[in-house]
């Protein structure tokens, strides 16, 4: 392993620290026997992950890179549909199956380039009855078509493959297949956001090409293991080999990482919800049998109120023609579309609601129906995704809940790299930067305060639905790609003025503006010092003995008359993201932090019962 890889892995862990530190407060150890240590192989893997050190199961570097720029060969076709037929064999931690990829040629096409972890073998690739030649290179494979496919024509190739998929080192952050069991029954999941779909199935591992017409899955697992996946459950076939096949199907496009399979001794907890547009849709919560009552309570205490919150603020739940779905996972959680991974173990957070469930559900709007095409725009998922918990706390427990969230986000900012960084080349790098969550949230806060409630929320709805009035949209709801530039254009339009200076100062620079203040001889002087010398005419509210004045900073430094001895508060409502003497830094992890993280992962390994060879 090179130094570069080492550094990257170390940073990645830091990047996830803010979410992790929220996640692990007060672990409850409900699932596994607390006295039992996690297996030595599991401990060794999570220690390697926490330290950013090499591990024998590390991914091929090319496989680990998800969402990198498409090659010309990849850009020459557009995936329309995937069909996954996969047998999962927990006993040997292996998989065996076939993926049919239907695609349109965007130009004359001789070769199809797809991605698959080299540790999985490709048995054959066929087009109809014709076997095709396959060349594997790094994390990709190249299939030669029998004849040139004309631009506009479509074809379906079928890839038979199998083997032992990568076992996650410390999911969901260091992802892959997650293996566990409950009272002897297998319990497993996939979680591959940072590394991509190619860890367990042949796919085009790129956010910018979702399968336009959706995905069908036929997942076989040992009888007694129920499979929860994306879209709608069509049927379950009993096999005569002791395996049942679960047929799930969705007509919606998916990012590769948003497709997941989960298996375990589940009980389905169901409900129905009438959305803001008047449509009724099913809520499904696939809980471990022993936790079905807790899941029922969680649906009532959180799922329904969360849906009500998001629908009222944003608009209709995007996938109401299929389901709002959750599944109990042997890892903390992930925003898998229509089947959100849930591993918070039914704990009540410090704000009286389940932040993990709220966060993953937020991603149905910020991530799944509105999606970044470029890794540099990952803040659109995570900045908004994290900000929604603050907004929810504002509604449920008031300003103290909101600012408690925001203070945590503020002090977790690292300021190592810009939030929207064009130099970021893949999802792993994007998620290395913790500030996509924290500073992303704070930019949204400051913009909201600057342009006002109506403009901010109308702009947010336009970002998602392309209309500020989505209330009566009928299903299916169209997904769309969005970029930082789209965000600026929409928010500027809603604000009635160009707000690019706010967004770009906060997102395109690693540092933050600092308000330089001094008080002398009855005067308060204010001046912005801005990274990159950007234009930043942010007005500053000042309270002088309780009287508020808003200082226009558009013509540069200002001074205000303040009586001697007056009580002066600058930005008394904390509207503006700026440098204060409480910010974090991007220094290397200390040994103590590494130890703390190992302890957290070890606790998770026990709670979730992680297994590996």
Exposed, middle or buried, 363 (CB in 10 Å: 0-12/13-18/19+)? buried
Q: Which residue is nearest to Zn ion (CB)?
A: 385
> Strand pairing partners for 155?
103
Residue 520: count of CB within 10 angstroms of its CB: 9
CB of 77 to Zn ion, least distance (A): 30
**Judged by CB, which is closer to Zn ion: 122, or 464?**
464
- In 3D space, the residue among 396, 498, 509, 399 whose CA is nearest the CA of residue 443 turns out to be 509
CB 459, min distance to Zn ion, A: 21
Q: Which is nearer to Zn ion, 96 or 354 (CB)?
A: 354
Residue with smaller CB distance to Zn ion, 194 or 385: 385
Minimum CB separation of residue 307 from Zn ion in Å reads 18
Q: Closer CB to Zn ion, residue 373 or residue 489?
A: 373
Q: DSSP states of 395-414 as a string?
A: HHH-HHHHHHHHHHHHHH--
Min dist CB 149 to Zn ion, Å, is 38
| Half-sphere exposure for 313 (CA within 13 Å, toward CB) | 20
Q: Residue 116 or residue 386: which is nearer to Zn ion going by CB?
A: 386
Q: Cβ(562)–Cβ(522) under 8 Å?
A: yes
What is the smallest separation between the CB atom of 359 and Zn ion, expressed in angstroms? 6
List residues binding Zn ion (CB under 5 A): 382, 385
Are 104 and 153 in contact by the 8 Å Cβ rule? The answer is yes
Which residue, 384 or 610, has its beta carbon nearer to Zn ion? 384
Residue 193 beta carbon to Zn ion: minimum distance, rounded to whole angstroms: 9
Q: How far is the CB of 423 from Zn ion (least distance, A)?
A: 22
526 half-sphere exposure, CB direction, 13 A CA radius: 27
- For Zn ion, the closer CB: 15 or 385: 385
The CB-of-382 to Zn ion minimum distance in angstroms stands at 5
> Cβ 98 to Zn ion, closest distance in Å?
32
- Considering the complex, state which of residue 13 and residue 179 has its C-beta at the smaller distance from Zn ion: 13
Shorter beta-carbon distance to Zn ion: residue 187 or 207? 207
CA distance 92 to 162: 12
Helix, strand, coil % (nearest 5) of the chain? 30, 30, 40
Compute the Cα dihedral for 6, 359, 249, 221 and give only its sign.
positive
The radius of gyration of the chain from alpha carbons, rounded to an integer in Å, stands at: 25
Strands 558-561, 523-529: pairing is antiparallel
Cis peptide before 227 (omega within 30 of 0): no
Under 8 Å between Cβ of 143 and 112: yes
Tell the burial category of 493 from Cβ atoms under 10 Å away from its Cβ (0-12, 13-18, 19+).
middle
């Amino acid at each position: 392993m090179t130094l570069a890889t080492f550094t990257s892995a170390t940073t990645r862990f830091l990047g996830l620290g803010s979410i992790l530190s929220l996640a692990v407060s007060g672990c409850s150890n409900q699932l596994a026997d607390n006295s039992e240590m996690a297996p030595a192989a599991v401990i060794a893997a999570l220690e390697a992950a926490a330290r950013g050190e090499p591990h024998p199961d590390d991914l091929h570097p090319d496989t680990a890179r998800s969402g990198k720029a498409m090659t010309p060969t990849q850009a020459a076709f557009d995936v329309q549909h995937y069909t996954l037929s996969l047998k999962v064999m927990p006993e040997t931690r292996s998989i065996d199956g076939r993926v049919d990829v239907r695609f349109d040629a965007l130009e004359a096409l001789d070769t199809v380039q797809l991605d698959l972890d080299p540790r999985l073998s490709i048995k054959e690739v066929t087009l109809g009855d014709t076997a095709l030649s396959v060349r594997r290179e790094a994390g990709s494979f190249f299939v030669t078509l029998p004849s040139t496919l004309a631009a506009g024509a479509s074809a379906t190739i079928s890839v038979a493959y199998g083997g032992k998929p990568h076992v996650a080192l410390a999911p969901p952050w260091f992802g892959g297949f997650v293996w566990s069991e409950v009272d002897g029954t297998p319990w497993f999941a996939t979680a591959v956001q940072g590394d991509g779909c190619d860890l367990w199935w042949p796919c085009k591992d790129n956010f910018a090409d979702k399968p336009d017409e959706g995905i069908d899955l036929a997942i076989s697992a040992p009888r007694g293991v129920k499979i929860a996946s994306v879209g709608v459950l069509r049927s379950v076939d009993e096999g005569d080999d002791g395996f049942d096949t679960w047929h799930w199907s969705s007509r919606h496009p998916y990012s590769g990482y948003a497709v997941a399979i989960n298996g375990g001794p589940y009980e389905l907890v169901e409900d129905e919800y009438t959305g803001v547009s008047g449509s009724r849709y099913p809520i499904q919560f696939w809980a471990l049998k022993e936790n079905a009552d807790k899941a029922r309570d969680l649906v009532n205490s959180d799922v329904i109120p969360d849906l009500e919150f998001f629908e009222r603020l944003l608009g209709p739940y995007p996938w109401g023609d299929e389901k709002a779905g959750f599944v109990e996972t042997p890892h903390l959680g992930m925003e898998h579309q229509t089947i959100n991974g849930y591993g918070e173990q039914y704990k009540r957070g410090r704000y009286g609601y389940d932040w993990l469930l709220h966060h993953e559900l937020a991603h149905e709007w910020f991530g799944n129906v509105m999606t970044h095409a470029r890794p540099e725009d990952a803040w659109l998922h995570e900045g908004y995704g994290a900000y929604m918990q603050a907004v929810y706390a504002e509604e449920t427990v008031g300003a103290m809940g909101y600012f408690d969230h925001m203070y945590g986000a503020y002090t977790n900012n690292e300021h190592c790299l810009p939030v929207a960084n064009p130099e970021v080349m893949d999802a792993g790098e994007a998620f290395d930067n913790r500030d996509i969550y924290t500073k992303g949230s704070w930019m949204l806060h400051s913009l909201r305060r600057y342009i006002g409630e109506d403009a901010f929320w109308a702009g947010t709805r336009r970002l998602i639905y392309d209309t500020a009035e989505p209330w009566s949209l009928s299903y299916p709801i169209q997904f769309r790609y969005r970029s930082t530039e789209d965000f600026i254009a929409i928010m500027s339009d809603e604000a009635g003025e160009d707000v690019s200076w706010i967004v770009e100062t906060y997102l395109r620079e690693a540092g933050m503006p600092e308000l330089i203040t001094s008080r002398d001889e009855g005067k308060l002087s204010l001046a912005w010092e801005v990274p990159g010398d950007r234009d930043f005419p942010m007005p500053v509210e000042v309270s002088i003995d309780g009287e508020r004045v808003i200082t226009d900073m558009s013509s540069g430094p200002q001074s205000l008359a303040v009586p001697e001895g007056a009580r002066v508060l600058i930005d008394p409502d904390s509207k503006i993201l700026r440098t204060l003497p409480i910010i974090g830094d991007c220094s290397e992890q200390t040994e103590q932090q590494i130890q703390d993280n190992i302890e957290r992962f070890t606790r998770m390994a026990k709670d979730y019962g992680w297994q590996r060879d």
